[in-house]
Amino acid sequence: MATKKPISKTKPTSRNNKSNSGKSTWKSKLWRFTWKFALWFNIISLFFVLLYKFVPVPFTPLMVIRYFENSAAGKDIETQHDWVPIEEISKNLQKAVIASEDGNFCKHSGFDFKAMQKAATGNFKGKKLKGGSTISQQTAKNVFLWQGRSYFRKALEAYYTVLIELIWGKERIMEVYLNSIEMGDGVYGAQAACKHWYNKDCKSLTRMQAAGIAAILPNPRKFKPVNSSAYITKKQRRIAQYILLTKLNY
């Protein structure tokens, strides 16, 4: 009597298998894209951070944005920007921006968490306080990013802040900061600001003049350090006093 061979059952290809295969392919492609994007972003960002450790920053995103804003508004405003080494920037101005913007600049590693917590608490209570951004954070934003308050931009700002703290060091951060920040309408950097406001080189800036420039930094297109309002004059005098107590420990 012949034995019957067991009939092998082959599973038919199901739509679910095709669907799962399609999902796996889609996920793998997304993962590869994300990985490559992150890799190239890190390479490019690291390249420019290394480059700007030695090379003057020719322009910032804010300069480009302001140019198009003024063009759209029909304003004919010339961009003034003259890079000078930190040795030619008055120590009075270096101390003034520390006293005004970031009192712990020489001590922290890029972030002043106490100032950030204070600003966050004030914002929660509805008070008007200046932000907790350090000079390092402001430099990262000015040189590499755009203006804004989104969490995505703040995350990028933190990333670049860590890089410049590690690669540049405090003195270079201060040099880039004072050569890049907006100090008037179409005026960027210490040298251009001193020429614009005081008709002199920034190396010979007096304590009161340095305090005047630092006093307008929250809104340099609205305020001015000469023939200024009572509010700016009062702030200028306060900063001038703090200059005497501020030390540069780069």
* Cβ density class 187-208: b for 16+ within 10 Å, e for less: bbbbbbbbbbbbeebbeebebe
Q: How far is CA 91 from the centre of its chain?
A: 22
Residue 18 clears pLDDT 60, i.e. is over it: no
Does 230 reside within a domain?
yes
Does 26 reside within a domain?
no
| pLDDT value of position 73 | 85
At 96, give phi and psi (nearest 5°): -65, -45
Residue 52 clears pLDDT 70, i.e. is over it: yes
Q: How far is CA 65 from the centre of its chain?
A: 15
Does 13 reside within a domain?
no
Q: Tell me the residue type at 223.
A: F
Do the strands 182-184 and 80-81 form a parallel or antiparallel pair, or are they unpaired? Answer: unpaired
Mean pLDDT of the chain: 88
Residue 59: both structure tokens together: 């322009």
| pLDDT value of position 130 | 54
How many percent of the chain have pLDDT more than 70? 85
Residue 24: both structure tokens together: 């796996």
Does 27 reside within a domain?
no
> Which residue range is the domain that position 48 belongs to?
33-245
Q: How many separate domains does the chain show?
A: 1
Q: Which of 5-14, 15-24, 110-119, 198-207 has the highest mean pLDDT?
A: 198-207
| pLDDT value of position 44 | 96
